[in-house]
Structure 1
Amino acid sequence: MSPAAVEGLDVPAMTAWLEGLGIGADGPISFERIGLGQSNLTFLATDAGGQRWVLRRPPLGKTLASAHDVAREHRILSALQGTDVPTPAVYGLCEDAAVSDVPVMVVEHVDGIVLDGRADAEALSQQQRHAAGLALVETLAKIHAVDLERTGLADLASHKPYGARQLRRWKGQWDQSKMRELPEIEDLTDRLVAADPGSSEITLVHGDGHLRNLILDPDSGGARAMLDWELCTLGDPIADIGTLLAYWPGPDDPQGAVFSVTTVPGFAGADELVAHYAEQTGRDVSAVPFWHALGVWKLAIILEGVRRRQSDDERNLSETGHHLPEAVDALVAHAHAILDRG
């Protein structure tokens, strides 16, 4: 019986390619889209013997230039093999147009827990939930400790001030992907430009460090693998803490389009996470409010881009369905409030 067709993959061609990698794949191979991500698409591949791998490809339809670069993601993950950073093993990158019209990366399937929703968190004990937050912080600290020269990642991106680079890049993303005019985000961009503290250090930065991108040990709550390296770059390490907080809402923060898992009792609070990072690394964390606001601003822009891709091609919908413009508006207002408090 032939495996079912899957949107975004040529199943016979991809099966043959996987069988030729020397990783023990034995057809027929079935492919299933997994995860809630709506940027690069993720698929679970399962062969006749029950072995599993994970595939990544860019989203369907038109994408913005420089975005969704799976070959770059493959380079980063390959460079991190053997470091202290928990990552899946990398098995290959397909750039053969006869197999796929876009690059496809295949990596190890790592068993564990991913906290995609409240039910996942509620299945854990409060002690495990608390450990999960600390494990995420510790994983980011390991990423920031990567030796750029030894891993060959020193030329991954510019070494110029990170805040200015991020503001310029993501403002451009907004201009290309926006579906309406939104003066509030233009005002927010101006405020962030004025508040930029500059950068005194350049490290590897994950760029998307939240709980949905971390596979956890079901017993200890510790980290087994960090996923989704698409936004990884070189920059200010405190930016990753800002991103973490952007996806770590408190009870009064906008949650519908972001991530409400961390409001389940037991997770560490934002202040504890920041303090734990400072303790782990010895870094100055006084600029966290700026990076937190910038992280929320980026999240609003990403969400608008997801809305654009969904509108252009509904094949990019995930289980969460369409996002509403009000969700973007709420994030922009939240970022303004963070700067007001900071």
Structure 2
Amino acid sequence: MTQDTTLDPQTAFSGTREVDPRHALDVGVLDAWLRAHVEGYAGPLTLRQFKGGQSNPTYELTTPVGAYVLRRKPPGTLLASAHAVDREFRVISALHAQGFPVARPHALCEDEGVIGSMFYVMDKVEGRVLWDLKLPGLAPAERGAIYDAQVRTLAALHSFEPEAIGLGDYGKPGNYFARQVGRWSKQYRASETQPIPAMDRLIAWLPETLPPEGPARVVHGDFRLDNLILAPDAAEVRAVLDWELSTLGDPMADFSYFLIGWAIPATLRNGLAGADLEALGIPGVEAMVETYAGLTGLRPANLDWLFAYNLFRLAAICQGIGGRVRDGTAASDHARQMAVHAPLLAEGALAFARKAGV
């Protein structure tokens, strides 16, 4: 959710660059695999790496007849259960079949001998990826329409019955928040590079104060503005990206993560707290809750707890990035800037925990 505020995110994270030498692969071998497994593929193949993304290295594959995107596990020693590109491929395959906005998936390669790690290939979707929640340079009406499109897309995702779309076994049933708190506590400990007292408090407090269980739905796990491709000239979500953290779980986790932007100070790039939302044309939290509830029948019961949980989770993710910097497997040039946010996010989470009764 947060980034280095000295960066221009549209420049720093949008578009492609030369492939990082750590993530280089054999283009000839990949070309042969694509010819065998992707219908309609024809080379020659040009390869570049996307700038954005902290976790799974992502490549643009350009040919004379079309463009594709390749997502792979990074090389090196990885945390257990992380970088699950096979799960990404499965969920976007199921959702694409339902007409939900995701890139068309083509093929999954589980043979690590091809390029050095598991990967999958999907269509490249053309459009806009916007990084700043305040949407600078757009008219107020367009900002409002983009926020409406975001919440409607999330509500559409949460409308699917997992069993009905072949994802009934995509995650464990029940106890979602308990399992997530446990998972991120474990991954934080595995990546810990320095003591963060606020994280210790949260790891003790969160399991003792879990909210009531909601219905099991497909949850994205990282639903935010810059994980969406918007139409070039309309407030239309063309594709939801980055399904690495998706599973079956409580839809309130997804929805409250989307809302966390309103709780982060407007002085940060991806914060709206304190911004003049009316002048910007951006709906407030209450309006987002009413739209979402009207579409799903669901609404958050305790946003302070949910915000504490989400900021804790973000802190653990940033600490994980710090661990990958330490281990030499980080996928982004900006990973170091992300890693330093862990203590700040933990303090923010603890502040919301106090509001919720820590």
Q: Same fold (TM over 0.5)?
A: yes
Q: Which residue of 2 aligns with 1:297?
A: 312
Larger displacement relative to structure 2 (281-290 or 142-151)? 281-290
Q: Which residue of 2 aligns with 1:75?
A: 90
Looking at structure 1, the residues matched to 122 and 38 of structure 2 have their Cα atoms a distance apart, in angstroms, of: 13
Q: Which residue of 2 aligns with 1:12?
A: 28
Looking at structure 1, the residues matched to 251 and 129 of structure 2 have their Cα atoms a distance apart, in angstroms, of: 24
Does the residue aligned with 2:120 lie in a helix, a strand or coil?
strand
- What's the CA shift for 1:162? 0.9
Q: Which residue of 2 aligns with 1:236?
A: 250
Query: Does the 8 Å CA contact 1:203/1:237 hold for their aligned counterparts?
Result: yes
Aligned match of 2:265 in 234, 249, 252? 252
- What's the CA shift for 1:153? 0.8
Looking at structure 2, the residues matched to 97 and 175 of structure 1 have their Cα atoms a distance apart, in angstroms, of: 28
Q: Which residue of 1 aligns with 2:62?
A: 46
- What's the CA shift for 1:105? 0.7
Aligned match of 2:53 in 37, 42, 58? 37
Instruction: Give the letter aligned to residue 199 of structure 2.
Output: I
Instruction: Give the letter aligned to residue 69 of structure 2.
Output: V
Looking at structure 2, the residues matched to 84 and 255 of structure 1 have their Cα atoms a distance apart, in angstroms, of: 35
Q: Which residue of 2 aligns with 1:65?
A: 80
Query: Does the 8 Å CA contact 1:254/1:330 hold for their aligned counterparts?
Result: no
Which stretches in structure 1 are left out of the alignment for 5+ residues? none
Matches within 5 A, 1:149-168: 149-168=163-182
Q: Once the two structures are superposed, what CA deviation does each residue of 1:44-92 show, in whole Å capped at 9, x if it has no partner?
A: 1101x15211110112322101111111111111111221421111101
Tell me how many residue pairs correspond in the alignment: 333
Distance 1:94 1:174, change over 3 A: same
Larger displacement relative to structure 2 (296-305 or 18-27)? 18-27
Distance 1:81 1:321, change over 3 A: closer
Query: Does the 8 Å CA contact 2:108/2:121 hold for their aligned counterparts?
Result: yes
Looking at structure 1, the residues matched to 178 and 150 of structure 2 have their Cα atoms a distance apart, in angstroms, of: 26
- 1:275 matched to 2:290? The reply is yes
Does the residue aligned with 1:122 lie in a helix, a strand or coil?
coil
Distance 1:324 1:148, change over 3 A: closer
Query: Does the 8 Å CA contact 1:241/1:288 hold for their aligned counterparts?
Result: no
Tell me the percent identity.
Answer: 34
When normalised by structure 2's length, the TM-score is 0.85
Instruction: Give the letter aligned to residue 346 of structure 2.
Output: V
- What's the CA shift for 1:173? 0.7
- What's the CA shift for 1:108? 1.0
Matches within 5 A, 1:191-270: 191-246=205-260, 248-250=261-263, 252=265, 255=268, 259-260=270-271, 265-270=280-285
Query: Does the 8 Å CA contact 1:241/1:291 hold for their aligned counterparts?
Result: no
Distance 1:24 1:278, change over 3 A: same
Query: Does the 8 Å CA contact 2:102/2:239 hold for their aligned counterparts?
Result: yes
Query: Does the 8 Å CA contact 2:216/2:250 hold for their aligned counterparts?
Result: yes
- What's the CA shift for 1:117? 4.3
- 1:21 matched to 2:28? The reply is no
Query: Does the 8 Å CA contact 1:60/1:316 hold for their aligned counterparts?
Result: no
Aligned match of 1:170 in 165, 184, 191? 184
Aligned match of 1:148 in 149, 156, 162? 162
Aligned match of 1:330 in 328, 338, 344? 344
Q: Once the two structures are superposed, what CA deviation does each residue of 1:126-147 show, in whole Å capped at 9, x if it has no partner?
A: 2222222221211111111112
Distance 1:174 1:97, change over 3 A: closer
Query: Does the 8 Å CA contact 2:74/2:117 hold for their aligned counterparts?
Result: no
Query: Does the 8 Å CA contact 2:26/2:115 hold for their aligned counterparts?
Result: yes
Query: Does the 8 Å CA contact 1:113/1:217 hold for their aligned counterparts?
Result: yes
Looking at structure 2, the residues matched to 309 and 38 of structure 1 have their Cα atoms a distance apart, in angstroms, of: 10
Distance 1:6 1:15, change over 3 A: farther
When normalised by structure 1's length, the TM-score is 0.89
Aligned match of 2:195 in 170, 177, 181? 181
Distance 1:35 1:325, change over 3 A: closer
Aligned match of 1:107 in 104, 107, 122? 122
Q: Once the two structures are superposed, what CA deviation does each residue of 1:248-283 show, in whole Å capped at 9, x if it has no partner?
A: 145636836xx3589693333333222221122121
Instruction: Give the letter aligned to residue 285 of structure 1.
Output: P
Aligned match of 1:88 in 85, 103, 121? 103
Does the residue aligned with 1:78 lie in a helix, a strand or coil?
helix
Instruction: Give the letter aligned to residue 42 of structure 1.
Output: T
Does the residue aligned with 1:323 lie in a helix, a strand or coil?
helix
Instruction: Give the letter aligned to residue 153 of structure 2.
Output: T
Looking at structure 2, the residues matched to 126 and 293 of structure 1 have their Cα atoms a distance apart, in angstroms, of: 30
